[in-house]
Structure 1
Amino acid sequence: MNQLFQLSGRTAIVTGGGGGLGLGMANSLAKAGANIILMTHNEPKPGVLEQLRSFGGTVHSITADLSDLSKISDIAAEAIKLAGGKIDILVNNAGIIRRTPAADHALEDWHAVLDLNMNSVFYLCQAIGRNMIEHGSGKIINIASMLSFQGGINVPGYTASKHAVAGITKSLANEWASKGINVNGIAPGYMATDNTTALRQDEKRSAEILGRIPAARWGTPEDLAGPVLFLASSASDYVNGHILCVDGGWMNR
């Protein structure tokens, strides 16, 4: 059974891996033996790389603005070189959110959110996917959202982008399953991260959210450790195009 979840010798890219959900997932993959390549907008905080290396694998960090789509090809090439020519796992986690009522939603915010949350996901899937196709295997895990299924409030760009992530995931799964590549997604529920600080500080809104979650708590980065390991490992070899909700039961309500 342990062999199903063993990642020794495999290399995983985690975007937005410097903190929050991304770092939680990177830790999970590193503990299972994977070598890690973090892609972060800013330099990782002190201790992050050392923590990941403590699990025994190699760890590299690429500082890049993934919303600059003209650089994606070069960023992917750098990652492939660092990996020794083969990427086994890609976790597309990097993302932003802009909270403004739709009537007042600035077009700059709309484009900024879609460029990072949607366009960079496809560009990176495409660039790393070519490498996986060449080697006949790979695992791609795109981070979706509850708003891949629902409309949300005051986040039109984010909602559109996360619906698109689910669509990209299913589309690529259809094309690449026969090539040995599994493309799936994780839809986190309401997580205690920087993106939800405003919601958690709003007592009324926070109470409304918690009242709908059967688990009666906000999620944590640790709650994604098992799901990402499952989708990155041999345990999910016949899972294709699935969006796994990790939400404390939110979607059931």
Structure 2
Amino acid sequence: MNLLHAIVLAIVEGLTEFLPVSSTGHMALVSAFFGIEKSDFTKLFIENIQFGTIISVIVLYWRKFFDFKKLQFYIKLLVAFLPAAVFGVIFKKHIDELIGSPLFIAIVMFLGGIVLLFVDNWFKNPQIYSEEKITYKKSFFIGLFQVLAVLFPGLSRSAATIIGGMQQKLTRTAAAEFSFFLAVPTLAGAFAKSLWDAYKETPEILTSHNISILALGNLVGFIVAIIAIKAFISFLTKHGFRLFGYYRIVVGFIIIACLLWGKFNF
């Protein structure tokens, strides 16, 4: 992986992590298109540039994350986070196998796009307009939707949790923002585990040069994610999910076609 590859992947991560389009699928497509080598460091890089996107959420919503008087906010995130954490540990081997299957990811992207075409019509008359009105029970059920994204790579964590929020009577905006909040403990946990695994199993890849590339990737991802989050909230409020559905269908179809025709080595 060279510097250009790192910047490109970081831009893709920043753009797609919080949109309902599957960052996993886009990483696979972009990596194949640019011929980025499959190595331990490439895997570590893709998993760890999520740290920059975590910081972007904290910066944009710093009043939420640093208002220590409202303990309920942190408890809600913990309640929503636990189901995915438990299932992620139990089914780690299953998940790793699916992440290594580009065809499975592409099919899930395609089918998820079809779902997004109808989401706005399924959940009408929302009753919850802010995080303060979300109960612990609703937080838990949103967390169960996140489990689907853990078990089915390509579904999109963002799409699953936003749909889960809307199913629990949240507005599109409130569901999207709670999805952003929930990303912080979820991605932080994945980041910490990935870094620890690399330290234990392949410490030789943690050179000063590679750490510098990781730092640059996180910085680029942080900047791009801030722009993406602001634009996404504005677009979602006005237009809903339909365009994202069409986009996922097209991208999923492209990946499937490339795999079947042997155009890319995923």
Which TM-score applies when normalising by structure 1?
0.30
Greater fraction strand: 1
Greater helix fraction, Structure 1 or Structure 2: 2
Report the TM-score, using the length of structure 2 for normalisation: 0.29
Higher relative CO (Cα under 8 Å, sequence separation at least 6) belongs to 2
